[in-house]
Amino acid sequence: MKITAASHGGNYNELAKKHGLTKEMVLDFSANINPLGVPASLKQTITANLDQLVEYPEPDYLALRARIASFHQLDLANVIPGNGATELIFGIAKVTKAQKVLLLAPTFAEYERAFFDAEIVYAELTNETHFAAAKIVLATLERETDIDAVCLCNPNNPTGQLISQQEMVQIASLCEKRNIYLIIDEAFMDFLEDNETISMIPYLQQFPHLAIIRAFTKFFAIPGLRLGYLLTKNDLLAEALLQMREPWSINTFADLAGQILFDDTDYINQTYSWLSAEREFLYEGLTGFPELTVYRPSVNYIFFHLEKPLDLRKELLVKGIFIRSCANYRGLSENYYRVAVKSRDDNSQLLSALEVVFSGN
């Protein structure tokens, strides 16, 4: 059965109300947003440019595209901005008109919704292989010879597992040989300090059927602004995406954000420092519970399996903590969960609450 309705992390207000809690009383581990919050540089820029609200955004976003192109050492024509990564996922589905699409299972649900009219082939990931994807993707491509597009999330959401650059080159080579579009969602790639050794951006020239989607949302903690971008060296694909996009889909402040955030090196370095310490702290804490099988994380969220019959989300919610149930991901049961890496105080609260839940108190 195809997924037709969106269900994501961060939507905890309704559940909180059911348990007599206000939104402010709940500690949200369901949304994978940088806990450092909105960068001060962006707050200052927005404050200084409030008067721009009376003007329409610049329709072609030339300054924004030029800054993104410069950051990635590409040409302006290679950059297509979007109202978040999701708009670009839906846009590329419309442009490619793919009739048969390979997706991971489990993975981010919006790919399936975007390619709603297509036949979906699933590369089924399993706990036996720790949800590794590369081999099963290649095997599926060898078996299914009439695939039109492959859409991969790297690192994958919710499992956090990575396809290495070497493995992705193998996939891209096979796709190029067969004229298959390879769409890679790298929305969480910025959380990897050495992401240039994993990202496929350096291979855009080599693989014309390759398109890469990035987002400012998670790393810079601006989901409310909605800003993403697509990179490709395929001129026909880029032009088609630019032609079909709705005018002024990116608001003025999101446009400004994309022009300045790459330069906020203090915030970027603080993020890497926080994540390096807190991801290991939370991972080690979670692995200390025999009730959990925890998968080693690569970015800012941790995926685990509960080894006993218990509604862990409900148990934690009554204690004022909300985690992401992965029951609605294809291929996962109700005993799979995902938690964001947050501050030391927040992570400690989660571990303390789990200790209480598992002790039966």
Mean pLDDT of 52-59: 95
Structure confidence at residue 92 (pLDDT): 97
Structure confidence at residue 25 (pLDDT): 78
Mean pLDDT of 142-151: 97
Q: Quickly state the pLDDT bin for 23 (edges 50, 70, 90).
A: confident
pLDDT tens digits along 290-346: 999 999 999 999 999 999 999 999 999 999 999 999 999 999 999 999 999 999 999
pLDDT tens digits along 183-224: 999 999 999 999 999 999 999 999 999 999 999 999 999 999
- Phi, psi at 344, each rounded to 5°: -60, -45
Structure confidence at residue 224 (pLDDT): 94
Residue of 16 and 190 predicted with greater confidence = 190
Percent of the chain with pLDDT over 70: 94
What is the spatial distance between Cα 343 and Cα 258, in angstroms, rounded to a whole number? 25
Domain boundaries, the chain: 13-38+265-359, 50-263
pLDDT of 16 over the 70 cut: no
Composition of the chain by helix, strand, coil, percent to 5: 45, 15, 40
pLDDT of 361 over the 90 cut: no
pLDDT of 54 over the 70 cut: yes
Q: Quickly state the pLDDT bin for 19 (edges 50, 70, 90).
A: low
Structure confidence at residue 2 (pLDDT): 54
Sign of CA dihedral 312, 190, 223, 230: negative
pLDDT tens digits along 226-275: 999 999 999 999 999 999 988 999 999 999 999 999 999 999 999 999 99
Instruction: Supply the mean pLDDT for the chain.
Output: 94
Structure confidence at residue 360 (pLDDT): 79
Beta strand pairing call for 301-306 and 100-105: unpaired
Structure confidence at residue 165 (pLDDT): 98
Q: Quickly state the pLDDT bin for 17 (edges 50, 70, 90).
A: low
Structure confidence at residue 195 (pLDDT): 96
What is the spatial distance between Cα 338 and Cα 330, in angstroms, rounded to a whole number? 14
Superfamily of domain 13-38+265-359: Aspartate Aminotransferase, domain 1 (3.90.1150.10)
326 close to 339: Cβ distance less than 8 angstroms = no
**For tokens 């193998």, what's the residue?**
170
Q: Quickly state the pLDDT bin for 9 (edges 50, 70, 90).
A: low
What is the spatial distance between Cα 337 and Cα 361, in angstroms, rounded to a whole number? 21
- What's the topology of domain 50-263? Aspartate Aminotransferase; domain 2 (3.40.640)
Q: What is the pTM of this model?
A: 0.94
Mean pLDDT of 41-49: 98
Element (H, E) at 284: helix 265-287
